[in-house]
A and B are shown apart, each in its own frame.
Chain A
Amino acid sequence: MWQEILGVGLMFALLLLFAIPLGKHIGQVLNFEKNWSDPFLGFIDRLFYRIAGIDEMQQVSWQNNLKAMLTINAGWFVLSMLVLSNMSWLPLNPDGIASMSPDLAFNTSVSFITNTNLQHYSGETGLSYLGQMTLMLWQFISAATGMAICAVVFQGMRERASEKLGNFYVFFVRSITRVLLPLSILAASIYVFQGVPMTFLGKALTENLQGDGIEISRGPVAAFVAIKQLGTNGGGFFGPNSAHPLENPTYLSNMVETISILLIPIAMLFAMGHVLKRRKLAWTFFGVMCLGFLLLLLPAIASELEGNPAIAAMGIQQNQGSMEGKEVRFGAAASAYWAINTTCTSNGSVNAMHDSMTPLTGMSAMLGMMTNCFFGGVGVGFLNFYVFVILAVFISGLMVGRTPEFLGKKIEAREMKIAMIIALLHPLLVMLGTGLATYLYAQNPDACAAWLSNPGSHGFSQMLYEFCSASANNGSGFEGLGDNTLFWNLSTGLIILTARYLPIIGPVAIAGLLAQKQYIPESAGTLRTDTATFGTMVFAVIFIIAALAFFPTLVLGPLTEYFMLY
């Protein structure tokens, strides 16, 4: 048991060790400072600029940056729909996979372009290699979209910001060439050495001990897994995601994958510190997020290591903790650690069955998605956090008797309106989605019987989790939910779309509006935002808005299960 906890501790320590220098690197890249990668990667950037006709020096307003982001995303969506619904006759389809149905293609396209990677299909049987490669492209693109739009917000947070907040396209290209691509190549190489396949050949044929023929699915897996983890995408090449031995064969590959999940979300904080030259602020934000992360993590690990009382009641010893639905090569602690990593960020990959976890871990995982800003997705996690910071600044500004200001800019009614709408959106989508699903189920239990593998509160958790996952752009599933139906494909698809773009538009608009305001120099009366006190305030605001709004649903789901079990 101590070995397992040590493994988790090591992963967290290594994560910080890599994230801090990476943050500085990203900061330099997004701030156009001299960087070691300029000599041998700069020409690739320029090549893209020339092909696309991008003027590297041109800066545009926040509205134009948003327009650029939205139009190019729409283009990608159309392309994705075309590929997924025509896979059957397109090249790179050695196993003869069929095209997707329109509603599944819609759900999958939306899901991958928005960095969600909710999968209502199984990779082995649902996608050709061209389909997989298309989705892999979106995994790069959606992560870079998050980083680029976050860079626009960084521009708006600077003291002497102007109306021009950089250029989305330039940030986008640089995020891919300088950060995502080099890191992915590095990670993929490690996976290949650990035994992850990287091939365009069709299924491998082999015999088992009984002499029966077995087909083993394979493909360009290593490249896919690398960006799925680094870009907080989470969509698996195979159905069982990173629990599959060919996606995550060893404890070492598991460590690299786990570290990859949180690496860029944490590094983005230090990148902010670098761009704004406010390192202490970066550490304060890190402290708040880390506190939230640990408060979700510790109960989860403790609960998984303790085992399931229902199994103990059957007289079965659980020395390794609760092992139902877990891979023996990872163990209970590393699986719980992964579960919290993947739900706190909007990653959504899994290395164990979340459905089988103890109620407390299930609740922690859901809370990770409900708050969705304890590190959060690449780039967008910071944007979610930014909205809560604006709300915290407002309330604490009042409490010290001064019109609230954040980094020298006054927060007024307009910014509050936007921040409040964005903060409300997530509970709205999750609660109304779950409300609608429970309503339909309660109205006609027989027609919806295929949805749920469990009745009662666990069935409720399955539905709640699915909507949390969609609205948090997470993409993981509690599983046990029959989700490839028209209702689930459409409802989650629409929620994913809304929950991706509005929470990007809102913070960019706030940053843009604040950038145009006059900078107020700091005085002794100014409330500093880089202190532990302010950090506590931000944490309290996140707790109140996210946790309290969702409390009744948690009571009906995991808490009822918990109190019935213990």
Chain B
Amino acid sequence: MKNSENTLFPKGAISAALKSAFYKLDPRLMLRNPVMFLVEVGTLVMLVVCVGIALGDQSQGSLAYNICVFVLLFLTLIFANFAEAIAEARGKAQADSLRKTRSETPAKLWDDSTGKVKLISSSELKKGDVFVCTADDIIPSDGEIIEGLATIDESAITGESAPVIREAGGDKSSVTGGTKVLSDQIKVVVTASQGESFLDKMIALVEGASRQKTPNEIALTILLAGFSLVFIIVIVSLKPMSSFAQAPIAIAAFISLFVCLIPTTIGGLLSAIGIAGMDRALRANVVTKSGRAVETAGDIDVLLLDKTGTITIGNRKATAFHPLSGVDPQHLLRASVLSSLADTTPEGKSILELANLDLAKLTPKDPVFVKFSAETRISGLDFEQTRIRKGAIDAIRRLVENAGHSFPDQILELTSKISNNGGTPLVVAENEQVLGVVELQDIIKTGIRERFERLRKMGIKTVMVTGDNPLTAKYIAEQAGVDDFIAEAKPEDKMQYIRHEQAEGRLVAMMGDGTNDAPALAQANVGVAMNSGTQAAKEAGNMVDLDNDPTKLIEVVEIGKQLLMTRGALTTFSIANDVAKYFAIIPALFITAIPALQGLNVMQLHSPESAILSSVIFNALIIPALIPLALRGVPYKPIGASALLRRNLLLYGLGGIIAPFVGIKLIDLLVSIWF
């Protein structure tokens, strides 16, 4: 689906959007957008004027000129409707292609009557079905364990490298689609029915049927309605004023002045910008439950990020071997490798890689592997008279002390030193005698420091959440450049941290997956749930990330900012245009009656008719010209708010003043051939 990213107008969308643009002329639909509704009213008045002239009215100028004004106003309406329609069409195309590309995994459906399993596709699973998963299986769907216990690698979703234990009964019974069973066997009942996806909600949203205006959009609509109202006042009072000055104004001129002055550019593009914002989120593979969530994302002050998977590469890697004094380094190396031979965890594999020994020579005859189990938390192998084990320090300590040996103090020194450097120690023992320690280190993702620096410039505080001890956490936090960390984090800690920040008035975003994240996801202002997360998490959050990529939050924040900026920039542009339009139309209104006002015709436009037509043409053409900007969004640059304002003010404010002067003059050169 990434391939469609650069085509602004997907195939077939244009003709569909054009059709829809006419359909949207329905006044009941237009009423949602007060600015464009006023244009529609003006268009209808011009139609009546044209009919009047055709029937012999002499006071309103030539029929051709009036018809031109009418057609141009009609085109303005069509362009605005087209902008909205094309944005919707893009979103819809996107959602459709997303639905097709959802990955499918095989599922072992359990048949209770026969007691046998049947292999089906995950998409065929229905709510209430029971499936079985054994070691190395990918869990095909969200569900709840009804039988058994297993260690599960959820690093693909949660990023947590340490395998988790899930068992039937209790609150650790839910499993997530896309995660992998490492050991043991479980029986799972499906809890999420297929088809009830957020995609369906999203499609409804982009189709506009259920799209509600966001608070910010409402405030902006008020502003735009206000600007339109000002000019209604201007037009209404101008009528008696002009008759006092004995400079009667034709209806076409009145309506043209009005339509040019009200903010039609932003009014016409407003809903397209909103839809395009959600569409951009969807392009980043994030499904939003509402447009409001995208907007809020732009305001985020604090970002809670899980360490593993976001800041560090999913799994820890072995980086060094530390033998006890008196132990041959080669001996430790050999024992470490042997203990990891059957270890399929990423840590185990990384030990083999680091040791880089010839496995064929090393492997003993008839080894008996001791698999890692959640109860012993030790793995290793037995051969002949040798028992090699590796595990966390307290597990090995228990093993050693139970056998009647003493646990050397040097190990404690070594392990605490490793912890201080942000590493995790694994102790290796042979025949219940400690040999040394393998150091596992988190690998900080390349480029993550720069990303945090960018966030800091955006004014966002980053907080790392990790289960590590405070020393390790502090070390990694410093290395990665995050502003704060929560060590030895329990789900309640996240919740408490969010509440604390919110009490101070900050907006918090977090990403979560598990059921125990659900309260925090609901509490956070922006909660992004992983698509492979539990149903509870997905319900609680207001966005779902289909890629299960923890760094996605950063993109979501930028999309939110872009959305607001596009609205702001086009509003400024639209209003700034009024200066030039005034200088084009006002002299045109009065110049016949008060020739002295020729001095105000700074653009030296050819005639009153050509000045008015040029302004209306510019006003209509600027809408389709800005559709690409509305759909792509104004690029966000983290250069500080004041610098950003200065930049956008120059670009869209000053540009908005100058562009129509140039544009109207050029159009006038062309129009003056006929009028």
Contacts and interface: CB of A to CB of B under 8 A. Distances in A.
Name the residue in B244, B576, B582 with the highest tally of chain A Cβ atoms < 10 Å from its Cβ: B244
Interface majority SS (helix, strand, loop, mixed), chain A: helix
A549 B560 contact: no
A484 B233 CA distance: 27
B586 A551 contact: yes
Contact of A528 (B569, B586, B641): B641
B116 to A, nearest CB: 58
A507 to B, nearest CB: 16
Given A395-B223, A525-B458, A403 B299 contact: yes
B42 to A, nearest CB: 17
A555 B244 CA distance: 13
Nearest to B296: A403
Given A528-B642, A540-B653, A398 B565 contact: yes
B554 to A, nearest CB: 14
B644 interface: yes
A551 B582 contact: yes
B459 A560 contact: no
Given A398-B568, A399-B569, A401-B562, A527 B642 contact: yes
B565 A521 contact: no
Most buried by B among A436, A442, A548, A552: A552
Nearest to B456: A524
Contacts of A435: 236-241
A142 interface: no
B369 interface: no
Contacts of B506: 520-521
A434 interface: yes
A217 interface: no
Interface residues of B, number: 76
A445 to B, nearest CB: 9
B240 A556 contact: no
Contacts of B567: 398
Interface in B551-593: 560-565, 567-569, 571-572, 575-576, 578-579, 582, 586-587, 589-590
Given A398-B564, A460-B245, A551-B586, A524 B216 contact: no
A486 interface: no
A336 B596 CA distance: 26
A424 B229 contact: yes
A427 B227 CA distance: 11
A275 interface: no
Contact of A560 (B219, B230, B597): B597
A426 to B, nearest CB: 10
A394 B295 CA distance: 15
A214 B459 CA distance: 76
B244 A442 contact: yes
A402 B298 contact: yes
Contacts of B642: 527-528, 531, 533-534
Counting chain A residues whose Cβ lies within 8 A of the other chain, the interface size class is 35 or more
Nearest to B657: A540
B299 A402 contact: yes
Interface stretch (A43-51, A95-103, A221-229, A410-418): A410-418
A400 B645 contact: yes
Interface string B221-257: 0110110011101101111111111010000000000
A525 B641 contact: yes
Contacts of A555: 586-587, 590, 597, 600
Contacts of B298: 401-403
B568 A395 contact: yes
B219 to A, nearest CB: 4
A416 B222 contact: yes
B640 interface: yes
A416 B568 contact: no
A564 B564 contact: no
B52 interface: no
B564 A402 contact: yes
Contact of B233 (A417, A427, A438, A526): A427
Given A403-B299, A457-B594, A552-B589, 9 more contacts: A398-B220, A401-B564, A413-B222, A417-B222, A525-B459, A525-B641, A528-B642, A533-B649, A549-B231
3 closest pairs, A vs B, by CB? Answer: A525-B459, A398-B568, A401-B561
17 contacts: A395-B572, A397-B568, A399-B648, A403-B299, A413-B215, A420-B223, A421-B226, A431-B234, A435-B239, A457-B594, A521-B505, A524-B459, A527-B645, A528-B641, A544-B578, A552-B589, A556-B247
Interface of B: 215-216, 218-220, 222-223, 225-226, 229-231, 233-234, 236-245, 247, 295-296, 298-299, 301, 456-461, 504-506, 560-565, 567-569, 571-572, 575-576, 578-579, 582, 586-587, 589-590, 594, 596-600, 636, 640-642, 644-646, 648-649, 652-653
